[in-house]
Every structure is written in C-alpha cells, then in structure tokens.
Amino acid sequence: MFKFSDYLRICRENKGVTQTELVEELINTDRIFSSLDATTLSRWERGVSKPALSKQTLIIKYFSNFFDRIYPFLNEAESIEIEKSFCAIGFSKLLGRHKMVMDFPTKNMDTKQFKVKSYLESSHKMTALRRNHMIMQEIYGPQFCNQLHENLAQHPANYFAVCEYQDDYYGHFFALRLKPPIFKRLMDFTMRADEISVDDIADQNEIGCYYFFGFFSLGELVISLIWIHFYTYLIKQQKTIKDLGAMIVSKEGEIIAKNMNTECINTIEVQNTTVMNFQASVDQMLITENVVKMLFNPESCPENS
C-alpha cells in the first residue's frame, strides 16, 4: 500500500529541496497553499495529519509537472504493487452502473482467485472475443466483420484484458491503440470504428491513443479489477500514450465517462439517438481526486477496514 505521507517525502527528497523550500514553491504554485508552513508539511510527511484531497491532487500535479511524468517514482514500482494499492470498491463507486455489468454475486468470492490476463495469454480468449464481437454488432450492425475484429484482438499493441476466476470467464475490456490521426478522425466523427484496419494500430514503441472498444463483466468487483489493471497499465506505459477516448450512446455511459474525467468533445444524432465522443489526455484521466484517493488513502477504503 502506498501512503500519501511517504509519497510526499519521496518526491520532495528526489527533488532535492527542504520542507521550507517546498512550502515556498507550493505557495507560489497555487493560492490554496497560502497558509501552509514547514511545520504542517512535516506533519503531512510523518502521517500525523493529511491535506485535503484537493491539495493532495495539486501536490501530485506539481511533482508530475516537475519530473515530467505522471505519479513520479510510483511508475517505477512493480505493476502488482500499484494494483494492490488501488481500492476496488472505490473503483466500483467511480464507475457506477452499466448494462454491460451484470449482477452476479461476487461478495463472498475470494478476491485473490481473480486473475486479469492479457487476451493472448487467457484460456478464455475465444469467449471474450465472441462476447465483444456481439457488442460491436449491437453498435455497428450485424455486418461488423468478425475477421477484422479477431485480427484487432490478436494485435499485441492493443489492450485486451480478460478476467478469470478459478479458470472461468468473468469479464473483459478491449481498447485499441490507434495512431493519433486515426484516433482524431474517430473523435471528429469523420471515421467509424468499423472502418479501422490493422494498419491503423500504433506500434508499442510509438505514441498511440487508446479507443475503448468494448467491455463486459459479470459483476461490479470484476469490472473494478479490470479497470485497476488498465489504470496501472496507463501509469506504467504513460510515455507512449497521448489520449484516450470512447463513443458513448447511453446516459449511464455518459456518467461513467464524466466520472473518469473525460470530456464530451463531439455529438451527432443517429436515428434519434445522441452519440457522444468523450476524450481525455492520459494525465487528465489519471491525476484526479478520485484516483488519488484510491491510490494514497488506504484508510478510506472499506477493503482495508
């Protein structure tokens, strides 16, 4: 578990400034710190007291800007350690309800038995593939090409995670890693997702944008674990990720998109349905009060009580 007190101290020490110097810089950064002094900062670092979430978030943004990476030093931790720090219940509250999240009871299941694997490593990849293809057909029509869908799923640069429990399928999330010009066309509604080809996928070592391409879950806990895996992936791979986006066609999807700090940038009307495109930069989506709370405030998570 990561605590804000330890993280604050690590960032300050790596910046090479004293507590007094950091206080002066924070005061110059934002008026919200105008009453801050070295004694209070010392109490924050020792865990005696803690700043409000709004201040925690501003401090993390300050260090992220200075070190030119989101959550500096956290991104150097092992993925499993970052995942353990996230509050799964917090994620389920953040995401809210969605028709693609079923009500299968998972409260009495052993959380440690859930495993989130890449599509290529999962023994249930065909189940996930068929389920996601059905979702795409519901959105784009029965003509949505099955072979294209499978080719996109097989591409190693795309993010396709499958959640398993004791070797059973419980859910998945699929996101395409697109070349920025292709991503922009989708966001501008000058291209449809069913027109994407494998050539439009950005390689793993080049800058790409993630376009959400379908998800399904048997329960809230499952989708929370999948999102934790994805957010951890974003933190680890942030240097090659520019923007993230999704097409939204429902009110519940709109609520989730806003909760994830993405913004509606375009809308069109299709057969009496409002279709919205939501987009955010990777830092805009990651450095929010909700994410900071789930990462650095373990005492606020019911799982740790």
Question: Quick one: which of 259, 237, 233, 234 has its CA closest to 248?
Answer: 259
Domains of the chain: 4-67 (1.10.260), 82-304 (3.40.630.30)
Residue 235 scores a pLDDT above 60: yes
Question: What confidence category does residue 17 fall into, taking pLDDT thresholds of 50, 70 and 90?
Answer: very high
> And the tokens for 230?
């994805």
Residues 6+ apart with CB under 8 A from 242: 180, 183, 207, 208, 209, 281, 282
DSSP type of residue 195:
G
Residues 6+ apart with CB under 8 A from 60: 7, 71, 287, 292
Pick the more confident residue, 111 or 232. Answer: 232
Residue 7 scores a pLDDT above 80: yes
The Cα–Cα gap between 213 and 149 comes to 10
b/e map of 246-284 (b: 16 or more CB within 10 Å)? bbbeeeebbebbeebbbeeebeeeeeeeeebbbbbbbbe
> And the tokens for 203?
């390689």
When pLDDT is averaged across residues 57-75 and rounded to a whole number, the result is 95
Calculate the average pLDDT of the chain: 93
The confidence score (pLDDT) of residue 29 equals: 95
Residue 47 scores a pLDDT above 70: yes
One-letter amino acid of 146: N
68-90 tens-digit pLDDT: 999 999 888 999 999 999 988 87
Question: What confidence category does residue 1 fall into, taking pLDDT thresholds of 50, 70 and 90?
Answer: confident
Residue 170 scores a pLDDT above 90: yes
Residues 6+ apart with CB under 8 A from 33: 23, 26, 27, 55, 58
Question: What confidence category does residue 242 fall into, taking pLDDT thresholds of 50, 70 and 90?
Answer: very high
Q: State what percent of residues in the chain have pLDDT above 70.
A: 98
When pLDDT is averaged across residues 19-23 and rounded to a whole number, the result is 98
The confidence score (pLDDT) of residue 303 equals: 65
173-187 tens-digit pLDDT: 999 999 999 999 999
Question: What confidence category does residue 28 fall into, taking pLDDT thresholds of 50, 70 and 90?
Answer: very high
**For residue 302, which phi and psi values (nearest 5 degrees)?**
-55, -25
Q: Are strands 208-217 and 168-178 parallel, antiparallel or unpaired?
A: antiparallel
Q: How far is CA 28 from CA 50, 51, 61, in A?
A: 20, 17, 14
Pick the more confident residue, 87 or 285. Answer: 285
> And the tokens for 55?
């201040």
Pick the more confident residue, 211 or 300. Answer: 211
One-letter amino acid of 189: F
243-257 tens-digit pLDDT: 999 999 988 889 889
Residue 304 scores a pLDDT above 70: no
94-105 tens-digit pLDDT: 776 777 888 888
